[in-house]
Structure 1
Amino acid sequence: MFIDLSEVTQRLRRMSSEELDVSGSYQSFLLDLICEGKDTLVVDQVSVWLFDDISNPKKLINVANTQWDNDLNAEDYPVLLCEEYPNYFKAISTGVSINATDAHSDPRTAEFRDTYLISNNITTMLDATIFKNGIPHGVVCCEGRGPLREWQSAEIAYAEMVADCCSRRLLVSELWTLQQQMTKLAFHDALTGLKNRRYLMDSGHREIRRHIRAGEQLSVVMLDIDHFKRINDSYGHEIGDVVLKAFAQCCQGTLRAEDCLCRLGGEEFIVLLPNTPTEGAREVAERLRISVEKNIIETAHHHIQVTVSCGVAQVNLAKPFSYSLKQVDHAIYDAKAQGRNCVVCC
């Protein structure tokens, strides 16, 4: 078989440069590359296998395959254990492509003879290593069921280009995942898992614009755990953290799905209540207050009960969101002055 490298390389380069959604499964963003490899090399199957741990690999995991009709769940991915195929794994770890004319007799692939090759009628294999930061990360495996095949240098070079394209896609996917994690960290409170102050301010401005367009009312509730400093002083900050997380879970369980509970910092929390007038917000605050008071927080050695003071305000849609936050903050001061464990509306 003759491959015009200049032609197939240009096609592969164009394909790999196209914008692609890498937020899905490996199968979804690698399938076009391995199908192109299958058609160009005229083989029966192309698959992508990745090491479980690049620094200390114990197994290869099949994450994409031209034979699959649909995506597989990650727990259903086929797996090869290193200890069962030592010659193959040793060959892959060198980074040199495996061009097995006769997969049954080649020492690098013969280990698969009884467990895979015979049952699937595989006769010949061409495997190209996928690299990550110069270290073998996995392999693109091209398999044929026809006559034995003497792999040409152009075919080996092309398979390696497919592996390199897969490597770039995998890198983009990892960067996307990292970006999502960084975004989550930027807008989430690490202790409680709630949205944080930064998210609240952005969301508040967006909700104001949305409620102006819809002609709806937007309300806000501030919650301040009563005497929280006493908890830290009496039980320690670790127990204080347990209380904060339990408080957040209790409040989340009381709110609607569309309500937005955020941690301002310390023991202060804010709830944004879309499409809610002041009286409705007061009722929500009262439910929160009662739920918190009834919720006994159990630790290894303590049963702790807390109460909360609540301030309620309707958001002034004609002014910056910070204005309404100041209003509800004043309501909290009034609630504290009135003996705590109560709700005060502006």
Structure 2
Amino acid sequence: MQNRLSELTQRLRRISSEEVDVSGEYPSFLSDIIHEGQLSLGIDRISVWLFDDINHPVKLINVANTDWPAGQVPSHFQTEDEEDPLAFYPSLKYTDFPIYFSAISSGVSIAANDAEQDESTLEFNGIYLQPNGITTMLDTVIFKNGIPLGVVCCEGRGGVREWSETEVAYAEMIADCCSRRLLVKELWQLQQKLRLLAFQDALTGLKNRRYLMDFTRREISRHLRNGSTLSAVMVDLDHFKRINDKYGHDVGDVVLRQFSECCLQILRTEDCLCRLGGEEFLAVLPATKLDDAATVAERLRAAVEALVIKHGALRLQITASFGVCEVELQQPFSQSLKLADNAVYQAKRAGRNCVVVV
């Protein structure tokens, strides 16, 4: 038995060490581990459940299951919820199974030879066990920084099963392998957030100057290849300093955010709106001729003029000056920035709240 356990352990370790794509949903990168465990333990099903909140759990969420086809969430569970991407997964509420939750939260493995009689799993009688034909369960805890993060649930049908110490140890290794994969997922998510923050203006949520330079480098190259025209619109809010001086920087921040949202509603998805700094912005318009860019700028000007900034009981209206230019594809982008900036300067001299094309 010892040799058999060593062989199974080595197989599991090799599988869990393989590089996987963690950018997708949980079933896709946990599937190989739990299917290997199902085969090795000779059981009917293995599922992975995670707490919704590691510090104050309200429910356990089933994020992977060997019953699901090809490691995918069944379509009848799926829904679109950007705020809670786990909303469509099956879940168990703490209030419905307090004894089981308490047992899992203690961090100790549950070897319920007879699931209908075991104190830790008897709450599932009539609700989960019988409808699914489950007669025996072996649940081992997934840890994160020493705190229970979730559970790997091994289930069998067809009668009582005496779980051996070696089987419990193997199931605990499955939980540890899942823990490492989940850590990789968390690190990947953190990298994506850091990458986003590196190219995002923290106040408005728009792209920043660093992103702009990378974006325009790619777009200039693409437009040179296909022979199309790239245009830019620079925007500068009129008398913004007066708003900060009169109402304070908190109100000024509200103005910048609502102005940004207003502009995004006018621009296309493929357009890139960046905050250069302060009250200065730049929109890069791919595959757009100069005349069309001027039309876009006029639409932006009218929308900003009609915008009512709301902050508590305060109501403000603002205007902006616009400079439009065609990007010189054969020149450094800094030259086009200077052209657009000069156009904005001309718009300011012409009385503000207007569009100047150069």
In which range does the TM-score fall when normalised by the shorter chain?
Answer: over 0.9
Give the letter aligned to residue 114 of structure 1.
G
User: Matches of 2:21 and 2:193 in 1, distance apart?
Assistant: 17
User: Matches of 1:252 and 1:121 in 2, distance apart?
Assistant: 54
Q: Which of 231, 241, 244 is the aligned partner of 2:253?
A: 241
Structure 1 residue 313: Cα displacement: 1.6
SS in 2 for 1:75: coil
Structure 1 residue 321: Cα displacement: 1.3
* More displaced stretch, 108-117 vs 212-221: 108-117
SS in 1 for 2:108: coil
Aligned residue in 2 for 1:64: 64
The list of structure 1 runs, each at least 4 consecutive aligned residues, that deviate by more than 4 angstroms after superposition, is none
Partner deviation per Cα, 1:153-210 (whole Å, 9 max, x = no partner): 2211211111111111111111111111111111111222211111111111111111
Question: Using a 3 Å threshold, how does the CA distance of structure 1 residues 291 and 87 change in structure 2: closer, same or farther?
Answer: closer
Aligned residue in 2 for 1:98: 110
User: Matches of 1:80 and 1:217 in 2, distance apart?
Assistant: 56
User: Matches of 1:165 and 1:129 in 2, distance apart?
Assistant: 11
Gaps of 5+ in 2: 79-85
Give the letter aligned to residue 280 of structure 2.
E
In the alignment, does 2:172 pair up with 1:155?
A: no
Aligned residue in 1 for 2:123: 111
In the alignment, does 2:288 pair up with 1:270?
A: no
Partner deviation per Cα, 1:278-322 (whole Å, 9 max, x = no partner): 222222212211221122323332332211111112111122212
Q: Which of 211, 214, 229 is the aligned partner of 1:199?
A: 211
Partner deviation per Cα, 1:2-58 (whole Å, 9 max, x = no partner): 981222222212221222121222122212211211111111111111112212223
Contact 1:41 1:155 in 2 (8 A): yes
* More displaced stretch, 16-25 vs 140-149: 16-25
Question: Using a 3 Å threshold, how does the CA distance of structure 1 residues 59 and 323 change in structure 2: closer, same or farther?
Answer: same
Structure 1 residue 80: Cα displacement: 2.5
**RMSD after superposition:** 1.9
Gaps of 5+ in 1: none
Question: Using a 3 Å threshold, how does the CA distance of structure 1 residues 16 and 238 change in structure 2: closer, same or farther?
Answer: same
User: Matches of 1:14 and 1:41 in 2, distance apart?
Assistant: 17
Aligned residue in 1 for 2:40: 40
In the alignment, does 2:335 pair up with 1:328?
A: no
User: Matches of 1:141 and 1:303 in 2, distance apart?
Assistant: 56
Residues 162-181 of structure 1 mapped to structure 2, 5 A cutoff: 162-181=174-193
Give the letter aligned to residue 336 of structure 1.
K
Identity %: 62
Aligned residue in 2 for 1:141: 153
Give the total of aligned pairs: 346
Aligned residue in 2 for 1:311: 323
State the TM-score, normalized to the length of structure 2: 0.91
SS in 2 for 1:317: coil
Contact 1:224 1:310 in 2 (8 A): yes
In the alignment, does 2:299 pair up with 1:287?
A: yes
Contact 1:194 1:248 in 2 (8 A): yes
In the alignment, does 2:232 pair up with 1:220?
A: yes
Structure 1 residue 82: Cα displacement: 3.0
Aligned residue in 1 for 2:266: 254
Give the letter aligned to residue 241 of structure 1.
D
Question: Using a 3 Å threshold, how does the CA distance of structure 1 residues 89 and 299 change in structure 2: closer, same or farther?
Answer: closer
Contact 1:3 1:154 in 2 (8 A): no
Structure 1 residue 90: Cα displacement: 2.9
Structure 1 residue 217: Cα displacement: 1.7
Give the letter aligned to residue 233 of structure 1.
D
Structure 1 residue 235: Cα displacement: 2.2
Residues 117-128 of structure 1 mapped to structure 2, 5 A cutoff: 117-128=129-140
Aligned residue in 2 for 1:22: 22
Give the letter aligned to residue 307 of structure 1.
T
Contact 1:221 1:313 in 2 (8 A): yes
User: Matches of 1:29 and 1:96 in 2, distance apart?
Assistant: 25
Give the letter aligned to residue 270 of structure 1.
L
User: Matches of 2:263 and 2:111 in 1, distance apart?
Assistant: 61
* More displaced stretch, 195-204 vs 19-28: 19-28
Contact 1:205 1:320 in 2 (8 A): no
User: Matches of 1:93 and 1:165 in 2, distance apart?
Assistant: 19
Aligned residue in 2 for 1:85: 97
Aligned residue in 1 for 2:12: 12
Give the letter aligned to residue 18 of structure 1.
E
* More displaced stretch, 76-85 vs 19-28: 76-85
Partner deviation per Cα, 1:242-280 (whole Å, 9 max, x = no partner): 221221122111122211111111111101011122222
Give the letter aligned to residue 14 of structure 1.
R
